Amino acid sequence: MVYLRSIDPSIEQDMRYAGAHNFTGHRLDGYDAAECVLSRDTAEALARVQKTLQAEGYGLKVFDCYRPSRAVADMGRFATEPGDPRKVEFYPRVDKQDFWRLGYVARVSGHSRGSTVDLTLTGPSALPAATWSPSAAQVDCTAPYEQRWHDGGLDMGTGYDCFDERAHTANPSINATAKANRQRLGSAMEKQGFTGYPQEWWHFTLGSNGAQRDVMDFPITPLSSSAADVIGTSGQLIVVTSKHWDDLQASAQRYQRDGSGFEKVGDAFAVVVGKNGMAWGKGLNSAVADGPQKREGDGKAPAGIFKLGTAFGYDASATTKLPYLALTPDTECVDDSQSSHYNALVDGAATAKDWNSAEHMRSEAGYRQGIFIEHNTPAAPASGSCIFFHIWRGPTSPTAGCTAMDPANISALFNWLDPRQSPLLVQMPEAQYEQFRQRWNLPQR
């Protein structure tokens, strides 16, 4: 997976789900940066399309690329909850409960495989892109080109994410200019191996590769950002500190944002970490050379700043705002660094096996409730895998690298954590926490 900007910076980006100008009216969970991320082969194919179009005086503008599966779940929640803040613009003639039936929203999105992209065509006759704000008037996405939202693209017959029959690729009711523009875009994409989607003129997938990849759920983060920037965007922190690098026992404290700082939530509680303590992991902070470094199988919990991903457990459902995975007897977490599924939760019965070792999640009582800690995401070989919050065996029983706690405390995290608050784990020994506290804008313990 790569940032499209690093492959072809000339392709324009208007990442709609990283803000509120989309059919839900809010930033989707997992879009922590307005960046297009794609599989490398998809990004390189898109760059070839761009080169061809530029030679003809045209170009591309992307609206959505890789979509974390938590964002797909966010769309699903929206479609079942009351309220239609952007109906007038995006789906004036459709009931949102019909999104799935009509093919406008999928329960499992090809975008989550990294090979699907939503885009439009730019060119010299396009109206300049307008600057959106929440106070902007809503105009029907099927209105004439001059009247509807000006996204900087050519007239394609409707606006982006227009849930209407006029957005169907071959709809005969659009004008001749829009038909020609759709044909030009579709032809250029098809020549590089992309396949269009009949319900949406903007939606293309690279060949059949998307169907062969597992869906992914890592968040979209800035191309480059400081630890202080990352902390500054978070509304919830879990701070875990130990006395020394090699200690197996530690203390955890929840914090909630209060203005420019944080305030404590509840009392501190005991946790256990790796049997060999902690080591600097592959998180959101810049690499730190001073101290041990996390490696696969070292029995150390990762130190650093980490996003929190999918909650999981034995129960079929759970009371949590986090995306939730019900574990089955076939659910595995792959810890073979040579596997293409390294550091991923997979359905072992439905996935082509290319690994020699994995954790069988239902065989570990501590995984009755757990939360994926996004250490080494996306995965780099041998840097450590399958790191979770989970239930401990006891207050003196360490883990192989996870952070474990009493069942009541993991349940409290399930209830408290809200992905829209961009929750983070900050975990390291006390001395290192104090060393970086002011530089990274961390709360005082």
Report, as residue numbers or ranges, the catalytic residues: 200
Vertex 367: Cα angle to 364 and 370 (nearest 5): 160
Residue 309, SS3 per DSSP: strand
Q: Tell me which DSSP letter residue 47 carries.
A: H
Please name which of 208, 218, 194, 199 lies closest in space to residue 62, comparing C-alpha atoms. Answer: 194
Please name which of 329, 328, 318 lies closest in space to residue 371, comparing C-alpha atoms. Answer: 318
Beta bridge partners of 117: 204
Is the link from the previous residue into 92 a cis peptide, with omega within 30 of 0? no
Residue 123, SS3 per DSSP: coil
Which residues, in sequence order, are CB contacts of 13 under 8 Å at separation 6+? 4, 5, 34, 35, 36, 61, 62
Angstrom CA distances, 173 to 142, 156, 157, 161, 360, stand at 11, 12, 9, 18, 54
List own/partner pairs for 172-176 with CB under 8 A and 24 or more apart. Answer: none
Q: How far apart are CA 259 and CA 235, in angstroms?
A: 10
Alpha-carbon torsion (52, 12, 174, 94), positive or negative: positive
Q: Tell me, what amino acid is at 285?
A: N
Which residues, in sequence order, are CB contacts of 255 under 8 Å at separation 6+? 236, 237, 238, 239, 262, 263, 264, 265, 443
